[in-house]
Amino acid sequence: MKIGLIYQGRQAPGVNNVVDGLLRFKAQKTKVELIGFINGIDGLLNNEFVPMTRETFKNFVNLGGIDYIGRGFQQIRDNEGREKVAAICKKLNLSGLVFVGGTQCMTDVAHIANHFVKQNVDTRVICVPGSVDGNIHHKYISSSIGFDSASKVYSQLIGNMLTDSASAVKYWYFVRLMGNEPSHLALECALNTCPNMVIVSEESNNNKETL
């Protein structure tokens, strides 16, 4: 078997553990080769990759970030791009192609997988949902990698500010959380920390409210 990995989404806690899982799978089997495409889709389309081994990965185990092989910003949204991916998979004789990313990555993977079925490409394509935003919902997906860890880290920081604000009294603290559809993350942190107010950005934008 020969399996390729692509980081397409942004960094999220736990993403590197996908590599660890693939390496554990390799250790349990025989004749399994793992490769990582450099800088995501760019590496795939340019045929740039490196072997993934326990030795090269040892300094990244259980760490955040996606700097082991890097991510790219390119997406595959047309048949020409899917044809290139199919040709590369055939050339490298890939048994599987694993993507890690959020909603846009999952959209790409769905179209690629469908294209592979129509073109009888043997490579199996899967996507591991990795996103801190918490905006991936499906009956077969309990949660995306990274959301739980991110919400706990943010909640710890917010909790520290709550303690300070309750002690100082004279200040208002505004905490802005990043991300695509960020209110999932904001609400999760609010449930953990119980602030005085939660501003749901999507609702405020819909109501044309200013701060």
Residues acting as catalytic residues: 133
Q: Positive or negative CA dihedral for 33, 29, 122, 74? A: negative
DSSP 17-70: HHHHHHHHHHHHSSS-EEEEETTTHHHHHTT-EEE--HHHHGGGTT--SSTTT-
CA distance 137 to 149: 17
Number of residues that this document lists for the chain = 211
Which helix (H) or strand (E) segment holds residue 99: the answer is strand 96-101
Give me 175's structure tokens. 């905490």
Which is nearest to 18 in space by CA: 138, 109, 121, 101? 101
